[in-house]
Structure 1
Amino acid sequence: MNKPTMESKEAALDVSVEDRLCVVKFNRPHKKNAFRAKEYRALMATLDRAAGNPDVTVVAVTGEGDYFTSGNDFMENLQNMGVFFRNHQSSAEGTEVGEKKSSSSVNLFRDFISALINFPKPLVAVLNGPAVGMGVTMLPLFDVVYASDKATFHTPFVQLGLVAEGCSSYIFPRLMGMGKAAEVLLFGKKLTAEEASDRGLVTEVLPHSNLHQIWPRIREYAKLPLKTLLTVKEMMRAKDRETLIKVNKMEMEYLKKAARSEEALTGIMNMFAKKSKL
């Protein structure tokens, strides 16, 4: 088994390759596997290497600890998203700095979603626990999603003064129907694993105590002929790729505006206030 790269260690991302299967584990359990900029960059680099590695057939992504991922690490990303600059730096220079930082952060996320859209090999997600935010919205960009029955799925974007991303504004209504997608993206309805399966986000739900039993199956997938897998995935995904790239760009433009809004500042501050009371 390959040792994790220094890049992935620094980014709290464990990567190993064995028997043609690349396993990527989010390894920041003390922060519920929340993503910082370095995790996004490391995961994109890992996908790029896996795409070009003839010894990798399938990439499977999972989490360490209780959570799959709680989404963005807002504590680190607050200033990068620019939400403080609008109200706390009144100078033109402060506003310009805030806009540049916000654009840089959002552009990084845009590139991450693009990497998932364009990844040519089979992508499998194994949810060991709850997913929040981008941990939910990115799931339809995977080819197969397995989930523990302890997993939950929550997209509290509007509560935070933010907007849907990960192409979810386009994909979720197609998967669920407009009304059920609105419950999730507009009103932040938290889904159980069974509800997520019923709505098309999850391929199969397994008892948490038996989740480990999915790995032998995934390892069997990795033994399948690579060229044929690439061809069939391209046949399945090609017709939507251009649309998804356009949707990703559109969502990111809305996110740049939302991230610097009064509602985002209030929403994120309220989130931290609630956490401090726990």
Structure 2
Amino acid sequence: MTAPTLLTELSDHILTLRINRPDKRNALTQAMYGELAEALLAAAENPEVRVVLLTGTPDTFTAGNDLQDFLQIPGNLAEAPVGRFMAALSGFPKPVVAAVNGAAVGIGTTLLLHCDLVYVGETARLQMPFVSLGLCPEFTASYVLPRIMGHVRAAELLMLGEAFSAQTAHELGLVNEVLPPAEVESRARQQALRLAQQAPQALLTTKMLMRRFSQRGMHESLAVELEHFSAALKGPEVKEAVSAFMQKRKPDFSKLA
């Protein structure tokens, strides 16, 4: 029997959503995005849920999109499960805590921009290799990152797409704390429990107020990024990047304008 790719557990008013596809480094399929979106939408309406804890398996958060699955998406990404997941997480009214170990690639990094508290293992590696794949940033990264760390640092992460350490993520203001891998989830759960014990309406109001004035920019960024991302998926640069990945070689963009 195939193990479920999303494990859920509700305890102490904390809903844990665990990405569970370790044989594929927790790469996300459209089915998994659909499950995550539905879980978040249900949690938003469930008074028993006060906090969501988002995590992966002990050695991997998520390697990002399952490329072969992702390239099969018809039409605009905003209407696909990945778009529904982005809308559900970016608009989620309750606190979200992330516990990250191992790889956090692509959306594995950008989704952290929509979490309220982020705890990362000291051996974790984060990366946003969109340009290297012939793509553009997604999940409001082009809007949020320059505002967190300034243009030049954001440009380095997004344009060069190189992996960076948990310590660098902390220095850039992307995560709250870097811990030994074995302590990451327990620390995240400890903080989630503290949030769950706070006055619930005051907590919701605080999150709403913190995001109120940036929400319009984030919504616009999400829509525009997805439009360009959708177009790029059909383009020659992605075709070359995927071919190179499958052939285990470096992509050659020299002949592309």
Fold match (TM-score > 0.5): yes
The C-alpha deviation readout for 1:160-184, integer Å capped at 9, x for no partner, is 1111001000111111111111111
Structure 1: which 5+ residue stretches go unaligned? 1-8, 81-100
Partner residue of 2:160?
187
Counterpart residue type for residue 259 of structure 1: L
Pick aligned residue for 1:129 from 98, 102, 123: 102
Partner residue of 2:205?
231
The alignment of Structure 1 onto Structure 2 pairs a total of residues equal to 247
- Aligned: 1:70 with 2:63: yes
Pick aligned residue for 2:179 from 185, 202, 206: 206
Counterpart residue type for residue 16 of structure 2: V
* Distance in 2 of aligned mates of 1:79 and 1:71: 16
| Aligned partner of residue 174 in structure 2, secondary structure | coil
Q: State the Cα distance separating 1:222 from its structure 2 match.
A: 1.4
* Distance in 2 of aligned mates of 1:196 and 1:267: 26
Structure 2: which 5+ residue stretches go unaligned? 250-257
Structure-to-structure mapping, 1:125-274, within 5 angstroms: 125-214=98-187, 215-274=189-248
* Distance in 1 of aligned mates of 2:3 and 2:23: 15
Q: State the Cα distance separating 1:189 from its structure 2 match.
A: 2.1
- Aligned: 1:17 with 2:4: no
Counterpart residue type for residue 86 of structure 2: I
- Compare CA radii of gyration and give the structure with the larger one: 1
* Distance in 2 of aligned mates of 1:152 and 1:102: 32
CA gap 1:256/1:19 in 2 versus in 1, 3 angstroms: same
More helix by share: 1
How does the TM-score come out when normalised to structure 2? 0.91
Q: State the Cα distance separating 1:106 from its structure 2 match.
A: 6.6
Partner residue of 1:41?
34
Q: State the Cα distance separating 1:108 from its structure 2 match.
A: 3.2
For the 8 Å contact 1:161–1:263, the answer to whether it is kept is yes
Name the Cα RMSD after superposition. Answer: 1.7
* Distance in 1 of aligned mates of 2:217 and 2:68: 32
* Distance in 2 of aligned mates of 1:168 and 1:261: 21
* Distance in 2 of aligned mates of 1:105 and 1:79: 14
